[in-house]
Amino acid sequence: MEILLDKNLQEMEQFVIGLGEPKFRAKQILNCLLLGNKPKESTTLPASLKAKLADYVCQPIKIYRDIKGKNAVKFLYELYDGNIIEGILMYHSYGNTLCVSTQVGCRMGCKFCASTLDGLIRNLSAGEILGQFVAVNKYLGGTLKDRKITNIVLMGSGEPLDNYDNVIKFLKLVTDENGFNVSKRNISLSTCGIADKIDRLADDFPGVVLTISLHTPFQEKRQEIMPIAKVYNLDKLMNSVQKYIEKTGRRAVFEYTLIDGVNDSVKDAQQLRILTKGLICHINLIPLNYVKERDLKTSNNIENFKQQLENMGMSVTVRNSLGSDIDGACGQLRRKVLGENKDE
Ligand code: SAH
């Protein structure tokens, strides 16, 4: 099935010409889609064109459920093929951040994450990733010129660099001046560490904030909790991160989910300092969200750990867990709802 939201303006122009329509219709269709509307609702498109477009997937995604928390809204979306994915909108003082998913499920197998429990179901297309932005912007009453989402983080379910081409296309679409024109600087891409794809990102789309899910500075431990570390070891990963920083001049962010007895000791903090020495970077400590299928607890040493890093001169924050009151950790809400539906 062809998804129209996958197309940029030039591709849409080719498409409408192929339908035997004048080129200027492309912009009208694109505007209609980016506002979250269906062509049949449009007042500018002629009935004959609307009829032709009925054969295509125009909006590949719709909000299936919204759950409002204190400073966040959690969304479940239904894809056009019936799959369910999730995302979260966070209200910050500086604007609204949308966390988007890039895959249905995930095949990375990290031991603390709920998204990967069923493996990878399928990749999302560029238009399906963009569709999350479109749907939530509309939900907030936003338009193209007056969009209500300022920042994007690719931190929902899935591993963005395991769906490389579609993610790059999404980044191009969402930053396109014919579209939402989001600044690269306001986009963070979070990866478990597929080093060779980080190298490619530095060539194909430099400028987005690179966020690495590090979680431990020790290779052996990392292999245990993040299987991808067997393919790309820490040396290789840090090398790619350094190259990315050099190429883009932007600091990298390391995410570090603190797990009781796994990565929260004095030794861990010291090794983290050694590993990141000389890199322009920031450490984001994350309390572990409890996942009932996993036998892991969050650390009760978070403040000490932070203090220790700061004492060694590192830039560090503890992520305030916006959305943890509404199952904000990736994959958890989807599983809960799928489980509920199974019981029905
Ligand atoms: N695959 C990408 C992006 C998705 S995960 C990545 O690995 O970065 C987004 C972030 O949430 C990652 O840092 C991930 O390690 C973290 N995360 C996963 N499960 C978590 C949990 N139960 N509690 C806290 N953080 C978790």
Q: Is 329 in the pocket of ligand 1 (CB under 6 A)?
A: yes
> What average pLDDT does this structure show over 78-106?
95
Q: Is 257 in the pocket of ligand 1 (CB under 6 A)?
A: yes
In whole angstroms, give the CA distance from residue 343 to residue 171.
38
Query: What number does the ligand 1 atom closest to the CA of 255 have?
Result: 13
In whole angstroms, give the CA distance from residue 211 to residue 192.
9
Higher pLDDT among residues 245 and 324, named by residue:
245
Q: Supply the Cα-derived Rg of the chain in whole angstroms.
A: 21
Residues 130 and 124 sit within 8 Å (Cβ to Cβ): no
Q: What pTM did the predictor assign?
A: 0.95
Mean pLDDT taken over the chain: 93
- In this predicted structure, the answer to whether residue 1 has a pLDDT above a threshold of 60 is yes
pLDDT for 344 equals 32
- In this predicted structure, the answer to whether residue 321 has a pLDDT above a threshold of 70 is no
pLDDT for 331 equals 58
Nearest CA residue ID for atom 10, ligand 1: 155
In whole angstroms, give the CA distance from residue 104 to residue 107.
10
Residues 6+ apart with CB under 8 A from 149: 89, 95, 96, 97, 98, 133, 136, 137, 140, 142, 182
Query: What number does the ligand 1 atom closest to the CA of 106 have?
Result: 1
> What average pLDDT does this structure show over 200-206?
97
Q: Is 226 in the pocket of ligand 1 (CB under 6 A)?
A: no
- In this predicted structure, the answer to whether residue 325 has a pLDDT above a threshold of 80 is no
Higher pLDDT among residues 295 and 151, named by residue:
151
pLDDT for 290 equals 82
Q: Which pLDDT band holds residue 318 (cuts at 50, 70, 90)?
A: very high
Active-site residue 86, yes or no? yes
Q: Which of 21, 86, 128, 159 is catalytic?
A: 86
Q: Which amino acid is at 281?
A: C
Q: Which of 99, 110, 113, 330 is catalytic?
A: 330
Which of 255, 172, 159 has the alpha carbon at shortest distance from 198?
Answer: 159
Residue 89 Cα to ligand 1 midpoint, Å, equals 16
